[in-house]
Amino acid sequence: MSREIGNRQKYDESRWFNHWHRAQHDDDAGGIDLDFVGCCRECWTPIYLVEATEQKRRKNAHVAEELGRLANVPVFVIYRDPTRSGEFLVDRRELPGKPRWLKESELWDALMALRREHFWTCLGQRAGG
Ligand SMILES: [Zn+2]
């Protein structure tokens, strides 16, 4: 079951820090927005990081890659081409090889596989979220 953003205006307003920070340092943001941190639904341990983009050239995701290395979690850079419906170009940065076009269901299966892998070490305690 998908979860929609209930109130788009409220969601956009909740990004106030991003907007404020950019306004203060418009020539040098000194930070990035990370698009998604995939977590275990039981203990909220981070399981993977996602940087999403619509740009066509290889995205510079150095900070996400470094965070992934420090946290020992995979980093996915996911490209969406608005002309190709139902699939994404997925670049799993810590692995060798070229990005692969995956159907939405294939991407979902890959992300859920990471959750299942975590299951065996999950402490099962909700730490927040
Ligand atoms: Zn867990």
Q: Identify the burial level of 49 via C-beta atoms within 10 angstroms of its C-beta, where 0-12 means exposed, 13-18 middle and 19 or more buried.
A: buried
Which one has a higher pLDDT value, 105 or 33? 105
How far apart are the CA of 61 and the centre of ligand 1, in A? 26
71 CB-near residues (< 8 Å, 6+ apart) = 46, 49
Please give the structure tokens belonging to residue 129: 């979220």
Average pLDDT over residues 84-94: 92
DSSP 109: H
How far does the centroid of ligand 1 lie from the alpha carbon of residue 115, in Å? Answer: 8
At residue 7, φ and ψ (nearest 5 deg) are -135, 100
Residue 85 has pLDDT above 60, yes or no: yes
Least confident of 10-24, 39-53, 65-79, 104-118: 10-24
Domain boundaries, the chain: 34-119
Quote the ligand 1 centre to 22 CA distance (angstroms). 34
- The mean of the pLDDT values for the chain is 86
Identify whether the C-beta of residue 75 lies closer than 8 Å to the C-beta of residue 64. Answer: yes
Q: Would you say residue 6 has pLDDT above 60?
A: yes
Our separate counts of H helices and E strands in the chain read 4, 5
How far away, in angstroms, is 127 Cα from ligand 1 center? 10
Indicate the pTM of the whole model.
Answer: 0.81
Give the Å distance between the CA of 70 and the centre of ligand 1: 18
Q: Tell me what the mean pLDDT of segment 30-35 comes to.
A: 83
pLDDT band at 127 (very low <50, low <70, confident <90, very high): low
What is the model's pLDDT at position 3?
64
Span 29-36, average pLDDT = 82
